[in-house]
Amino acid sequence: DAGVIQSPRHEVTEMGQEVTLRCKPISGHDYLFWYRQTMMRGLELLIYFNNNVPIDDSGMPEDRFSAKMPNASFSTLKIQPSEPRDSAVYFCASSLVYPSEGDYGYTFGSGTRLTVV
Amino acid sequence: QKEVEQNSGPLSVPEGAIASLNCTYSDRGSQSFFWYRQYSGKSPELIMSIYSNGDKEDGRFTAQLNKASQYVSLLIRDSQPSDSATYLCAVITDYGGSQGNLIFGKGTKLSVKP
């Protein structure tokens, strides 16, 4: 099992540009989560999907952020236009069941470190 | 605003000692609790979960939960330098049968000195 795969690992972009982050969850996992981590705010949930359907996007900062999951093996998080305050590490995680239903917790990807200059 | 609070540390302990990491949460309805370990520059990885009051042991790790005091802790016995990492407490609140969100604390940085 290759685990949760994220790409790219690092992204440096100029303010105003579009950024697309990609995630491939573990096969068979029904839940996919996008988190953002900064020193100031820690890990924040942005959005999560169940069976490819967005369930809760209340953590998405603003309309500049959008996420899609066109099939069970692929999700994207897009920022357009990007701003310096979007600089963070973005993690994708997947789970077989929702964490409260068992000892599964999440399996996190390696993250994408985004720097907006 | 539901919150999970942790002392940011760093917590420094000598090798072989017991490291005690603490976490408090604001929502009394919280039901599920998790401890994650995150090495510098890496992603979080699950160490333990706990759902009932009391202690849960797994090897050198013991999670303790006290729902009345809204307090959860992680004890690491015989601490090793390889345990040096940031430890994240995470909490889920059940919203009357609906799934709550997994909320993370900002983490406690642990340093185990040889």
**B12-47 residue pLDDT tens:** 999 999 999 999 999 888 888 999 999 999 999 999
Task: Give me the residue from B32, B46, B106 closest to A106, CB to CB.
Answer: B46
Contacts A44 to B, Cβ<8 Å: 104
A42/B106 CB distance under 8 A: yes
Report yes or no: B104 and A59 within 8 Å, Cβ to Cβ. Answer: no
Q: Is 60 exceeded by the pLDDT of residue B108?
A: yes
**Closest residue of A to B95, CA-based?**
A100
pLDDT value of position B95: 54
Count the alpha carbons within 13 Å of A90 in the hemisphere toward its beta carbon: 31
Q: Which residues are paired to B88 by β-bridges?
A: B36
Taking only the tens place, the pLDDT of each residue in A11-23 is 999 999 999 999 9
pLDDT value of position B32: 87
Percent of all residues in chain A with a pLDDT value above 90, rounded to a whole number: 78
Contacts B32 to A, Cβ<8 Å: 99-100
Q: Where are the beta strands (DSSP E) in B1-44?
A: 4-5, 11-14, 19-25, 30-38
pLDDT value of position B20: 97
CA–CA separation, A52 and A31 (whole Å): 8
Report yes or no: A99 and A112 within 8 Å, Cβ to Cβ. Answer: no
pLDDT value of position A65: 97
A99/B92 CB distance under 8 A: yes
Q: Which residues are paired to B107 by β-bridges?
A: none
**Closest residue of B to A43, CA-based?**
B104
Taking only the tens place, the pLDDT of each residue in B84-98 is 999 999 998 765 455
pLDDT value of position B29: 82
Q: Is 60 exceeded by the pLDDT of residue A5?
A: yes
pLDDT value of position B9: 85
Across A8-12, average pLDDT: 97
Please name the amino acid found at residue A23.
C
pLDDT band per the 50, 70, 90 thresholds, residue B100: low
Contacts B105 to A, Cβ<8 Å: 42
Taking only the tens place, the pLDDT of each residue in A21-39 is 999 999 999 999 999 999 9
Element (H, E) at B5: strand B4-5
pLDDT value of position B107: 95
pLDDT value of position A114: 98
Q: Is 90 exceeded by the pLDDT of residue A112?
A: yes
Reported residue count of chain A is 117
B44/A100 CB distance under 8 A: no
Tell whether A105 is within 8 A of chain B (Cβ): yes
Best mutation target among A5, A103, A107, A110 (most B Cβ atoms within 10 Å) is A103
Task: Give me the residue from A103, A104, A109 closest to B43, CB to CB.
Answer: A109
pLDDT value of position B28: 86
CA–CA separation, B21 and A116 (whole Å): 34
Eight-class DSSP state of A59: T
Across A80-93, average pLDDT: 97
A105/B88 CB distance under 8 A: no
The rounded mean pLDDT for chain A is 93
